[in-house]
Amino acid sequence: MPPHPLSRIRRAAQWGDVRSRGLGMIAYTLNRVTGLGLVVYLYLHLIVLSLLAGGPSSWDAFVQIARSPAFLVLDVILIAGWLIHGLNGLRVTLTGFGIGLRSQKVMFVVLMAVAVVALAAMAVMVFSA
């Protein structure tokens, strides 16, 4: 007998519930949230790039907006997303191949610390460009 639809949805959405879960589940959820956010960004980015087909006037008007401080804040959020997703993804890949299974938690904490430091450095670069 197939599972009840609601229980199926609950099971599929389990990764979104981080209450009283371990660090591993938080890492998994973080990867999915950032991943889905990055998919949305990818398509927004591709749509915006269509302005290039309109020639210099349409693209350069967007460039002016992209250089505004409010837009740069969005850039920093985006960088945070791919730093977290990319560094956490490296851990997932390593452990998927059976490397560092016992040091997953340490790896996660160290990689997220790297993400924070890299984000701070890149935020400075973004606002001083």
Pick from 23, 67, 103, 116 the residue near other proteins by CB under 8 A: 67
**Close Cβ partners of 17 (under 8 Å, ≥ 6 residues apart):** none
Q: How many residues of this chain bind other proteins (CB under 8 A)?
A: 42
Subset of 109-128 contacting other proteins (CB under 8 A): 125-126
Contact flag: residue 42 with other proteins (CB under 8 A): yes
Q: Can you tell me the distance from the alpha carbon of 71 to that of 65, in angstroms, rounded to the nearest whole number?
A: 7
The residue (of 12 and 70) whose beta carbon lies closer to other proteins is 12
Residue 86 within binding range of other proteins, rule CB under 8 A: yes
Which structure tokens are listed for 44? 């927004």
- Size of the chain, expressed as the number of residues it contains: 129
Q: What is d(CA 98, CA 123) in angstroms, rounded to the nearest whole number?
A: 34
Candidate list 8, 106, 109, 117; residue touching other proteins; CB under 8 A: 8
